[in-house]
Amino acid sequence: MTDAELDARFADLGPLAPPEAVSARTLWNQLEGYTYTQWLAEFSPEHPGTEAVFNANLASIRAHNGKKGETYKQGVNKFTGMTPAEFKTKVLGGYKTKHGQATAARALSAPAPLETHVPVSALPASLDWREKGVVTPVKDQGGCGGCWSFSAAETGESIVAIATGKLMVFSEQQILSCSTNPLQCGGTGGCSGATQEIAFNYSRDAGYTLEKDYPYRGVTGKCIPADIKPVAHIKGYVFLPPNNYTALMNAVVTVGPIAVSGAAEPWQSYESGVFSRGCGVDVDHAIVLVGYGTDPSEGDYWLIRNSWSAGWGENGYIRLARYGATTKGEPCGVDKTPGDGDGCKGGPPTEEVCGICGIMSDSSYPIGASVP
């Protein structure tokens, strides 16, 4: 599908969404003399930590930015007061990996046959679904490990908008509080973790409710049936072949934004640029693939939407290095602790993950979107 064909297909979705505004903040090149007191005033962080931890992180950020050859910059954000261990526990602790999930749960719908995929060289050179007016503003999961519900709700918002022309903001709290996770895939549910596929199964049965009708509270809470007012529905979901570059590229072009997962621990201080250094294979975070492109200096990248507020990263997004079109190819590794990412209780002890930060290992999207 060419760029022109893609634009024509979605030309009737209305005007482009306005750029997301981010309030003025201290950037990586403005950190000389920056203090803990300034940081507290600027970010009002939920986890202020200690001045010693802040100073250690600030020194690390400045050291990184002073190195030659780095493809991205680090900066201060609401996580700068956390140690790496606290960041992993408090921010990434609510998502565990799902590949041990019962096969039947994945087989609700089959992905497009691989033989129908076009070569990556035939796809548009770049794609950003925000430019099609089908992506809502960046959200903030706060101190709840509910990234899985954000990834699923946000993917659902875009898929429904593409199918119906109506872009709505769906409730993550409905998914957090009301979906069940009997196999303990990705955790025990709610802010303690689950997976996007758990969320898609729930939304297939219950429908999506608007955020304004079931607002986010940042805690698991109890399900409130009276707040569930379905405004959109799906019929199921597709789970893409794991670690398949061509399948993922074809899906993001022909379907829309895709729910994906990654090893996000090294993203704590990311501010801008193409993240290309090794982030390991311990998949521990759920996000959304919104497109891809090529940076004139740093090469190909995946465009990833996060749920840590628009004040983190590039207005709430991170660009991850993409190698599938190069002779180098996408890196792969073995995740020896799949329970830290998207795995189920009793699942396999290891799993192969590919792409930087394991970004191609766990990809899915809802199907059959409709509105009443």
For residue 102, what pLDDT band results from cuts at 50, 70 and 90? very low
Positions marked active-site: 147, 285, 306
pTM for this entry: 0.90
Summarize pLDDT for 241-290 with one digit per residue, the tens: 999 999 999 999 999 999 999 999 999 999 999 999 878 888 999 999 99
Summarize pLDDT for 52-100 with one digit per residue, the tens: 999 999 999 999 999 999 999 999 999 999 999 999 888 887 665 544 4
- What pLDDT is recorded for position 267? 97
> With 80 as the cut, is the pLDDT of residue 44 above it?
yes
For residue 153, being part of any structural domain is answered with yes
Most confident segment among 93-107, 294-308, 347-361: 294-308
Give the structural domain span for 208. 3-9+95-367
For residue 51, being part of any structural domain is answered with no
Summarize pLDDT for 81-90 with one digit per residue, the tens: 999 999 988 8
- What pLDDT is recorded for position 337? 65
Most confident segment among 60-74, 174-188, 326-340: 60-74
> With 70 as the cut, is the pLDDT of residue 20 above it?
no
Chain centroid, CA 289 distance in Å: 6
Interval 338-365 mean pLDDT: 78
- When divided into structural domains, the chain yields a total of 1
For residue 338, being part of any structural domain is answered with yes
- What pLDDT is recorded for position 100? 40
Tell me what the pLDDT averaged over the chain comes to: 87
- CATH code of 332's domain: 3.90.70.10
Summarize pLDDT for 135-175 with one digit per residue, the tens: 999 999 999 999 999 999 999 999 999 999 999 999 999 99
For residue 34, being part of any structural domain is answered with no
Comparing 311 with 110, the larger pLDDT belongs to: 311
For residue 245, being part of any structural domain is answered with yes
For residue 329, being part of any structural domain is answered with yes
For residue 73, being part of any structural domain is answered with no
For residue 116, being part of any structural domain is answered with yes
Contact 157, 111 (CB under 8 A): no
